[in-house]
Amino acid sequence: MKKAFAICFLIFLSAILFAQHRAAKSSPQPSPENAIKNLERTIPDLMQKADIPGMSVALILHGKIVWTHAYGVMNATTRQPVTNTTIFEAASLTKVIVAYSVLKLVDEGKLDLDVPLNKYFGNNYDVVNDNRIDQITTRRVLTHTSGFPNWRAEGASSLPINFTPGEKFSYSGEGFVYLSKVVEKITGEAFPDFIQRTVLDPLAMTNSSLAWKDDYSTRAAHRHDMLGNVSFRQEGKDYNAAASLRTTAEDYAKFMVALLSGTGLKPATWQEMMKPQVNVDAEHSQVYWGLGVGLEVTDDGKAFWHWGDQGDSKAFMNARLDEKNGIVYFTNSANGLSIAKEILDDALGGTHPSLLWLDYERYNSPGRTLFKTIVAKGAPEALAAWRTARKNNPQQSVNENQMNSLGYALLRMKRVDDAIEVFKQNTVDFPQSSNVWDSLAEGYMTKGDKPMAIQYYEKSLQLDPNNKNGEEQLKKLKQ
């Protein structure tokens, strides 16, 4: 029985191999008429295959919004349908709007791209005993070269600087939060009010806000996990300059139209925003960051782009500067970025190296198939079949990050024993990775097995003495 299951599993995985390789290849640019037809035809099928409950999308052609559409449901339990005014989480697409608003201050002469931010703020913010704060500027925040981590350790009041500012690209939400505090100091406005005044009102983005509004209780989509089950909805009056914009696809497309032409910015400032300032890494030579926005520089021309990831909700946008064509979509699903390749193929065509850099798992990947099999059969049987399939075809492997994500998805589902089996598999495949041992330790800690958790946090720290999370968890476990 198990042998037959393994063979079926292998056949199924082989059947999707060709589709999996499409991620790295260019696709022809569709005509305007075909772009809409393609999207209308393929989106419902992709949503069904990827377990995406709800989606909102807008298409821009030649600098104009030509098509918007709503699909699926806001909540898989209540089945309330998505409409064109359903509110979605923009997540990190927020950062592009924040960058645009800050550049308006630059145009007004109230902020200089290259003056240290602490000169405006008046102190060193949350940085303690590190003079490199003097090197953190608006430009370095917007290009993710500030030296800050993405987020500080949970509960920490101080903020570390991990490397000399300007040294390299390292994505950081903390930098945008710091920048928002500086803007509040300069303008005397609460940051959501500043965004409303400088971006949302001028562009008639009437369904958008940086902070939660009361009417969102009936209009905002709920998040959903990898299997399409309702997880939760982020509410509350707090705001975050890196991630808390709520919006619609049509509203965000209005902003993209403005960006495509430089509306609202001086020409030199807009050109600086769209100029490659830093390469993300040596391996991805066509992916850069401008001022607050990702850039793709390929044979197809230059495009700006960004992604949004709030765990169980995902978003993506991409627009070509030459043709002024673009696409933006929002989903209420953990799997929302698994269909980005197909959406871009249908809407814009061309090559999109940003997707290879992001490296999100495709909707038809071996990892997603493995996850569904674990949920149906349990981890021991599913992993045994997967190992057989991988032995026969190594291209069916699941990488370290993908396997880790499966484990954490299972933890969130409270399938702790299955999660531990997945984390164990990762330690077998990547024994020199500190992170996989850290995750295994967390699995045992969640289970309540303190000795095993201590053992594996210690193993993680042996491999990486700078693993701050492991160090903190070990202290708690030994107290």
The span from the CA of 469 to the CA of 479, in Å, is 16
With 70 as the cut, is the pLDDT of residue 2 above it? no
pLDDT of residue 30: 86
Cα-based angle 240, 243, 248 (whole degrees, multiple of 5)? 120
**Average pLDDT for 21-36:** 73
What is the C-alpha end-to-end distance of the chain, expressed in Å? Answer: 48
The span from the CA of 314 to the CA of 90, in Å, is 8
DSSP for 423-463 reads HHHHHHH-TT-HHHHHHHHHHHHHHT-HHHHHHHHHHHHHH
With 50 as the cut, is the pLDDT of residue 89 above it? yes
**Average pLDDT for 99-118:** 98
- The residue among 440, 392, 425, 266 whose CA lies nearest residue 13 is 392
- Residue 115 three-state SS: coil
pLDDT of residue 237: 80
β-bridge partners, 314: 309, 331
- Residue 154 three-state SS: coil
β-bridge partners, 464: none
The span from the CA of 435 to the CA of 461, in Å, is 9
Backbone phi and psi for residue 67, each to the nearest 5 degrees, phi listed first: -160, 135
pTM of the complete model: 0.87
| Residue corresponding to tokens 């042996």 | 462
pLDDT of residue 160: 97
With 70 as the cut, is the pLDDT of residue 479 above it? yes
**Residue type at 444?**
Y
**Average pLDDT for 37-63:** 97
With 70 as the cut, is the pLDDT of residue 1 above it? no
Q: Put residue 183 in one of left, alpha, beta given phi > 0 → left and psi -120 to 50 → alpha.
A: alpha
DSSP strand pairing (325-331 vs 54-61): antiparallel
With 80 as the cut, is the pLDDT of residue 12 above it? no
Q: Which two tokens stand for residue 208?
A: 């958008």
38, 13 contact by CB (below 8 A): no
**Average pLDDT for 42-56:** 97
pLDDT of residue 25: 63
Q: Taken in order 10, 431, 225, 67, is the CA torsion positive or negative?
A: negative
DSSP for 244-295 reads --EE-HHHHHHHHHHHHHTTTS-HHHHHHHTS--EES-TT-TTEEE-SSSEE
With 60 as the cut, is the pLDDT of residue 61 above it? yes
**Residue type at 430?**
F
**Residue type at 375?**
V
Q: Summarize pLDDT for 347-378 with one digit per residue, the tens.
A: 999 999 999 999 998 999 999 999 999 999 99
With 90 as the cut, is the pLDDT of residue 23 above it? no
pLDDT of residue 342: 97
